[in-house]
Structure 1
Amino acid sequence: MKFSIERATLLKAVGQAQSVVERRNTIPILANVLIEAEGDTVSFRATDLDIEVVDRAPAQVEKAGATTVSAQLLHEIVRKLPDGALVSITDDPAAGRLTVQAGRSTFSLATLPKEDFPVMASSEYTANFAAPAPVLRRLFDKSKFAISTEETRYYLNGVYMHVAEGEDGGKVLRCVATDGHRLARIDAPLPAGAESMPGVIVPRKTVGELRKLLDDDDSEIAVSVSETKVRFAAPAITLTSKVIDGTFPDYSRVIPTTNSRRLEVDAAEFARAVDRVATVSSERSRAVKLQMEEDRLILSVNAPDSGAAEDELSVAYADERLEIGFNAKYLLEIASQIDRENAVFLFNSAGDPTLVREGNDTSALYVVMPMRV
């Protein structure tokens, strides 16, 4: 195998692949990236047995072939090569070596046979559809902050992507994540071909890796879903992942429907005020008290060991006086998701879950549990 490739192109492709590789693994081949050169394309494939990513890049291929080499080592070498360099890569199967050459720099790396590299079995996908990258990016970006990190409730360690009934009665593509303290539910128009899609829980690591595929606003992402796997294919990158084998809870039961006390506030101003008063709170609880009366919101923190803080905002609120406490981190995370100018909070009482919306947008909804303060 022999090919030449631009350093920037190579760095992007190897970077994408090596981020999937687990740093600590007991199977040496899993630390490697499978390089396959053919025609005028080189593909870089990496896997941790749960996720597989394949990145294809244009190159001048002199001799087709395939081998595997340490993903992290190759990435580090390419990262340190000068900008604009043309990198020449040659494989010597007899010696079990891969030579990387750029300018006056030459590296000789140990390889492992390509036959040992595990390729994820292809699945019979029950649904295939395409969606614009910005649509998928919004679905996952706005929901992922609520993914649980608690390993015991493994079925909450991802984003639940499924077909659901929207607020207007039509079908939507929906992503939901919750950790029991807060919940995010984001809807998008249902793409053609997605109607028969089984609901799947996309793991946290996959959601992180997927973000790199969705940066290009103009690209269309081909999505394939089965009961056990999900695949996202951008023009140059394909990401295949196992899904979490578990049942996502009935999240609709925790979404309040009768909350009638309505507070409307500038989302950015609210986030800044929460951040300011939370400065004095103890890390452990980070509880912020919200006190509402007519068109006024007072945010306060009282931390006996470090001090107290208070901040006041002008808001739209016309219901009876209410005091309620929240974890500051949860409020900040929800406020940072709001793209509209105003955030709308719907309360019931100090002990009930609170509903948060983005202005009058019905496609995004957040729920946050209160705290005792």
Structure 2
Amino acid sequence: MSKETKTPWSARVNAKVFRKALRLMMFVVETRTTIPVLSTIRLRVVDDKLTLVATDLDFELAVDVEAETDGVGCILISPRFLDGLASISDSTVTISHPGSGDIIAVEAWEAKAKYRCIIPVDDFPVMTGFAPGQEVMTSTGQMRAPLKHVMGCISTEVTRYYLNGVYFHPSRDRGGETLAMVATDGHRLAKYETALKWKDQDGIIPSKAVNLFMSLLPANGNGEVRLGMNRDRVRFHLFGDGFRLSGKMIDGTFPDYQRVIPREGTGRIKADLTATALRRMARLTKAGDDQHGSRAVKIAPSEGVMIYRGGIPDYAGGLTEVSLPVTGEGDPIGFNAKYLADICAGFDVIRMEAADSGAPGRFFTEDPNLTKVLMPMRV
């Protein structure tokens, strides 16, 4: 216990809001750890506010929640214990401490529980702040939209750890004055050119932090956020309304991805793909994957068809050929069915260009700031 818990205190918080904050905490807290304090969160009660802090030694997330408070206190407690109680309440959750001892009382709905705080608050690790070498302020929507487009291409291959995140860097195509975000797994690549002012600084933000970004930034939010990195490419932070996230960046060098992006207008193979055809193809390939694994989609622009050959459940014979219309010109080219569906999701019309059937395909959408590249498959 800290000195703040030597006096009585209590806090009553909305159960739904509290549960949302706890889910964010549990995303940071490791489920399996040999360090007991890392399985807890720090909960501080002061000035009609609950501040929850979680860390895994690589990231630290603090979230503020409005509450009706009486007194000042600070404890270390299991977020899963609190989440279990908050999930049964439709109204409020009340947490209180009598001012002496190490027992915390929690009330939710008609349930009353007690929790013994055995780890001293002073044992909780705290990440020190840093002076950012580069910082930008923008809206939640302007930060979330680019990340949504590129995060699907993040690699999960641990041997190439430098691909396990999103590369933030000054855009070469715009004179090094604005921020670009890139992710690739070696099979597919996504790049987004933002209008945010950004010079000199670059770094790779890990996928866990990117997923936290998406959880912290509401889809339709208009609040302000502040992203910063220090000059030695070691630390980053993201501050917003009611939250503060800081952590370590990936210690590695992102590859020169520009070399694999075909120049616009140089492809001899061109095809226009519609969202309707792609959605139907996605359903067929998903059904086929259930029994036969991933299959290739053959795009034959000169024939005006997109062909999938795969296993369709409930049909005898195992392999079924399905054709859907496309328009364009050039030789046939094949792509991984799942990757094609993922890379084209969210757009009505996609234009694909490739130099030949063995060259990477570049995909153009309604968003001129977005570049997507997909490596071909043999068909």
Q: Same fold per TM (> 0.5)?
A: yes
Residue identity in the other structure for 1:297: V
**What does 1:72-91 correspond to in 2, within 5 Å?**
72-81=80-89, 83-85=90-92, 87-91=93-97
CA-CA distance at 1:329 after TM superposition: 0.9
Match among 64, 67, 79 for residue 56 of structure 1: 64
**What does 1:1-373 correspond to in 2, within 5 Å?**
1-81=9-89, 83-85=90-92, 87-91=93-97, 94-111=100-117, 112-166=119-173, 171-191=177-197, 194-196=198-200, 198-215=201-218, 216-226=220-230, 227-257=233-263, 258-276=266-284, 279-280=287-288, 283-293=292-302, 296-301=304-309, 306-313=318-325, 315-317=326-328, 319-320=329-330, 322-336=331-345, 338-339=346-347, 341-359=348-366, 361-373=367-379
Q: State whether residues 274 and 288 of structure 1, in contact with CA within 8 Å, keep that contact through their aligned partners in structure 2.
A: no
Q: Deviation digits for residues 104-148 of structure 1, max 9, x if unmatched?
A: 421101212110101112122111221111111111111111111
CA-CA distance at 1:362 after TM superposition: 2.4
Q: State whether residues 275 and 328 of structure 1, in contact with CA within 8 Å, keep that contact through their aligned partners in structure 2.
A: no
Q: Deviation digits for residues 208-235 of structure 1, max 9, x if unmatched?
A: 1111111152111111112211111111
Q: Deviation digits for residues 254-313 of structure 1, max 9, x if unmatched?
A: 11123243212213422322432563366434222222216x123131569821222121
Distance 1:94 1:251, change over 3 A: same
Q: State whether residues 278 and 301 of structure 1, in contact with CA within 8 Å, keep that contact through their aligned partners in structure 2.
A: no
2:247 and 2:280 mapped to 1: Cα distance? 38
TM-score, structure 2 length as denominator? 0.89
TM-score, structure 1 length as denominator? 0.90
CA-CA distance at 1:18 after TM superposition: 1.9
Deviates more, 1:274-283 or 1:131-140: 274-283
Distance 1:169 1:123, change over 3 A: closer
Q: State whether residues 160 and 177 of structure 1, in contact with CA within 8 Å, keep that contact through their aligned partners in structure 2.
A: yes
1:46 and 1:116 mapped to 2: Cα distance? 13
2:126 and 2:374 mapped to 1: Cα distance? 41
- For the aligned residue pairs, the C-alpha RMSD in angstroms reads 2.0
1:302 and 1:105 mapped to 2: Cα distance? 53
Q: State whether residues 175 and 185 of structure 1, in contact with CA within 8 Å, keep that contact through their aligned partners in structure 2.
A: yes
Q: State whether residues 222 and 234 of structure 1, in contact with CA within 8 Å, keep that contact through their aligned partners in structure 2.
A: yes
CA-CA distance at 1:169 after TM superposition: 5.3
2:363 and 2:30 mapped to 1: Cα distance? 37
2:243 and 2:105 mapped to 1: Cα distance? 25
Residue identity in the other structure for 1:50: D
Match of 2:28, SS? coil
Distance 1:278 1:139, change over 3 A: same
Q: Deviation digits for residues 238-269 of structure 1, max 9, x if unmatched?
A: 11121111000010011112324321221342
1:310 and 1:162 mapped to 2: Cα distance? 42
Residue identity in the other structure for 1:291: A
1:98 and 1:55 mapped to 2: Cα distance? 21
Residue identity in the other structure for 1:132: S
Q: State whether residues 69 and 98 of structure 1, in contact with CA within 8 Å, keep that contact through their aligned partners in structure 2.
A: no
Deviates more, 1:283-292 or 1:18-27: 283-292
Q: State whether residues 271 and 331 of structure 1, in contact with CA within 8 Å, keep that contact through their aligned partners in structure 2.
A: no
2:163 and 2:310 mapped to 1: Cα distance? 33
Runs of 5+ unmatched residues, structure 1: none
Q: State whether residues 277 and 311 of structure 1, in contact with CA within 8 Å, keep that contact through their aligned partners in structure 2.
A: no
Q: State whether residues 157 and 164 of structure 2, in contact with CA within 8 Å, keep that contact through their aligned partners in structure 1.
A: yes
2:332 and 2:292 mapped to 1: Cα distance? 22
